[in-house]
Structure 1
Amino acid sequence: MMQRFIPVVLASIASFTLTDSQAISQNKPTCQRTTQNFLVFGGGGAPSYNEIALEKNMLYFQRSLKELGYSTSDAPIYFANGNTGEKTVRYLDEKGDQQFKAHTVPNVQGASSIANLQTWMAQAAKEKTATPLFFYFSGHGGHNRVNEDNSSLLMWRDRELSVQNFTAMLDRLPQNKPFVTMMSQCYSGSFANLIYNGGDPNKGIALQTRCGFFATIKSRPSVGCTPEVNEADYRDYSSSFFAGLTGRDRIGRKVASADYNKDGRISYSEAHAYAKIDKFTTDLPVSTSEAWLQRQVNNPTMREQILGQTIAPLAKIARPEQRFVIESLSRQFKFDLNRSLNGNLRSLNPELVKTAEDEAYLVRLSMELTNVAMERRVRTSKNARSIQTLDRLIRCEAGSWGKS
């Protein structure tokens, strides 16, 4: 088991390469304003893969809005076929047979088409307001095997919207309008590149403040798109992220608080940390700052040095939400914090790592330790541009839906 696992860890970390040292704007990020705009796109690109779980994600998002004092009318939703009344939502009935029905999502403005997204973004670009925009996408993703930095969203009628084409829309938004996204589709980590001009890591950091949270890294599919009806059985990043953000899961139960820094509000980054330990899935959640940090792990020697560092000192310098992830996952595998990850792996009880989900949790731990180690490396580098980039991303990710 351990011989099979260690290459999995290294391969996951190795998927992030390329150092970025581009300059960014001196503007202070404003992701923590007390007002918030929302935009939601969801659904499959065709009835054959427009699963009922995607419809239920829209409904859970609306319940999450209400939980934090917003109205469902505050968030325009574009879902699958829109308001045509067609039976496009795929589900399994009590006998396990495939059926189709019309969606029941309130406040749907139209289809989840590229044209509708372009129209909405064009209008937002004209408003010239500094109100932050939170964009939620719950659907499917296309994998660009030639260039994993430019994968795609699958929009209605099987249209693909690439990272670079999506980011071109963001490039036209007002420079002082922060943008935050949460995406749960397969290969969603590719969209961490929206922090760059045109979505291209070779073109430098965009002047507009942008950040995001993604169900998994750019090279991996995600879980959660199911035609099963019972929400109590759902295991996916959306479920965990919004449970952490609001304090209630998708069937209304209260969950443990994700206020890890005890400041009285739940930030996006804290909800993201909650999602990393909440559900037993194979996802490898990642944020923009984490993707940026791990992209700079550019050689095997650096990776080995990180995985060979004692865990306890890294946990001590970690931010509260990072410490929560490190300590929680270390407890899960009965790791000794006074040893390195590699040292713990050599003596790990094989009974604790029986499934692909178990292995994913170990990869999550390796990624979290890498995030902390690389953040320390950036901060001690005295590279002002890199430090500024990191600070700006972290501040954006520390925003929230809080109204006060």
Structure 2
Amino acid sequence: MRRLLVSFTCGLLAVFAYSRVVSLQETHICLSSHSTPNFLVVSGGGAPSYNEIALEKNVLYFQRTLQFMGYNPKQVASIFFANGNDGQASVRYIDQQRRQQFKRPNIPYLQGATTLDNLERYFQQLAQQKSSKVSFLYFTGHGGKNIQDLDNNYFVLWNGQKLSVTQFSQMLDKMPSETPVVTMMAQCFSGSFANFIYEDGNPKHPVALQTRCGFFATIKSLPSVGCTPEVNEADYRDYSSSFFAGLSGRDRTGKTVSSADYNQDGRISYAEAHAFAKVDEKSNDLPISTSEAWLQNKVSPIQKKAILTQSISQILKTARPEQRYVINSLMKKFSLDKQEPALQVLGNIDNDKIPTNEQQAYLKRLNRELINIAVEKQIRTNGNQKDIAILDRLVKCESGSWKK
């Protein structure tokens, strides 16, 4: 059995907001005091047939992560999961006899179902809060590909409802521009949601006035590793598990992981957790952030090839600490020489040394990381102030953290 059991192909959706408690019709939004973040978790599959127990366990791990980092989930987290509290046995799992079973959701402090109405109501209420505090959105469910437009993919809510990039962005467009939003999504084709940095989620439109950034399990054209009805969390290998392990310093089984504080400033940023996941996650995912998606769109295939004629050591000169960690770690896996041109290094790897999809993904991550570093240097060197301002804004947003 593959070890890539949990996807968040599935993905998690949480939002940090700050404020007082606000009532909803079937649920409520917990908006806490200004000094404590509030987390909205929107999770689960669209129907019992694909509402795997891994999704429920993802929410429970998220709650444990909050506790480990000093937050009380009951006080700071609003949680939506699948069918909510209606009593339906909607969670699919495999029992010890290898039989498919269904059970009711068992998540502490569950407020309601994952529906479009609940999300719209939440953001409407949030828009009324004149807060300048960060909102962090985290989704765990299933994602779908928009064949006509990969820039407008969607994730699936309960009863098969869909929330597209455009719909999500338009919800945020109604919020105060002074309320920054950070997302962490790990569903299939999740990279499409990097477009939420634009008005209406349309890359042809201007960048939104509201500061937005996010982290995604994979690029817009690819699925992520699959959700699973298996119950053993020790076998789960997915982007969000690695991201939260890097962010908190503890994995989903409770074990301590190596510190992701790569710049040694005493806190773990989202960007550092993202870097940790690129090395830690044993899957064929290609994790990407908003700034990385933006950079990749700034360069043509021919320009990418030209960039890779430089030596890896030359490209590394302008890398941030978390980028340097990714490059050095991935190169070590394949015993690569930094002094050689990147294109030559990557092209000379014996295929016998990369027999698995996971190892091939590591090389693709290395390739993309080198491109990201080099394109950022080009943009800063070219001096286009508009582009530099957008890049600085994204990098600063991605450098935020949960640390109190």
TM-score (norm 2): 0.90
Instruction: Name the amino acid aligned to 1:310.
Output: S
Q: State the partner residue of 2:352.
A: 351
Kindly report the root-mean-square deviation, in angstroms, between the aligned alpha carbons of the 2 structures: 1.1
Kindly provide the CA deviation profile for residues 129-148 of structure 1, in whole angstroms up to 9, marking residues without a partner as x: 11111111011001011100
Cα contact 1:224–1:234 (8 A) shared by 2: no
Kept in 2: contact 1:217–1:286 (CA 8 A): yes
Q: Kindly provide the amino acid, as one letter, of the partner of residue 202 in structure 1.
A: K
Distance change (3 Å), C-alpha of 1:224 and 1:263: farther
User: 1:139-288 residue pairs with structure 2 within 5 A?
Assistant: 139-288=141-290
Q: Which has the higher helix share?
A: 1
Alpha-carbon distance change, 42 to 241 in structure 1, aligned in 2, over 3 angstroms: same
The CA deviation string for residues 314-339 of structure 1, in whole angstroms up to 9 with x for no partner, is 12210000000011001111110001
Query: Do 1:89 and 1:101's aligned partners in 2 also have CA atoms closer than 8 Å?
Result: yes
**Can you list the C-alpha shifts for 1:312-369, whole angstroms capped at 9, x where unaligned?**
1212210000000011001111110001222113331333200111111111001100
SS in 2 for 1:385: helix
Alpha-carbon distance in 2 for matches of 1:51, 1:316: 44
For each residue in 1:80-105, what CA deviation from the matched residue of structure 2 results, as whole angstroms up to 9, or x when unmatched? Answer: 00011211001111122111111111
Shift of 1:307: 2.1
Quote how far apart the aligned CAs of 1:304 are.
0.7
Q: How does 1:66-77 map to 2 (within 5 A)?
A: 66-73=67-74, 74-77=76-79
Correspondence for 1:336: 337
What CA distance in whole angstroms lies between the structure 2 residues aligned with 1:255 and 1:130? Answer: 33
Assess if the C-alpha contact under 8 Å between 2:91 and 2:104 holds in 1.
yes
Query: Do the aligned residues in 2 keep the contact of 1:151 with 1:163 (CA within 8 Å)?
Result: yes
Runs of at least 5 residues in structure 1 that lack an aligned partner in the other structure: 1-32
Aligned residue in 1 for 2:361 = 360
The list of structure 1 runs, each at least 4 consecutive aligned residues, that deviate by more than 4 angstroms after superposition, is none
Number of residues paired by the alignment? 370
C-alpha deviation, 1:75, in angstroms: 1.2
Question: Unaligned 5+ residue runs, structure 2?
Answer: 1-33
The 5 Å alignment of 1:24-39 reads: 35-39=36-40
Map 1:41-120 onto structure 2 (within 5 A).
41-73=42-74, 74-120=76-122
Displacement, 1:224?
Answer: 4.2
Residue 37 of structure 1 and its aligned partner are, at CA, apart by 2.8
1:34 deviation in Å? 5.9
Report the Cα distance in structure 2 between the residues aligned to 1:392 and 1:402, rounded to whole angstroms. Answer: 20
- Mapped partners of 2:307, 2:256: distance in 1: 37
Which SS does the other structure have where 1:38 is aligned?
strand
Greater RCO structure (CA 8 Å; 6+ sep): 1
SS at match of 2:317: helix
Following TM superposition, by how much is the alpha carbon of 1:300 offset from its aligned partner in structure 2, in angstroms? 2.5
Could you tell me how far apart the structure 2 residues matched to 1:379 and 1:148 are? 29
Q: Which amino acid aligns with 1:95?
A: Q
* Matches of 2:78 and 2:326, distance apart in 1: 33
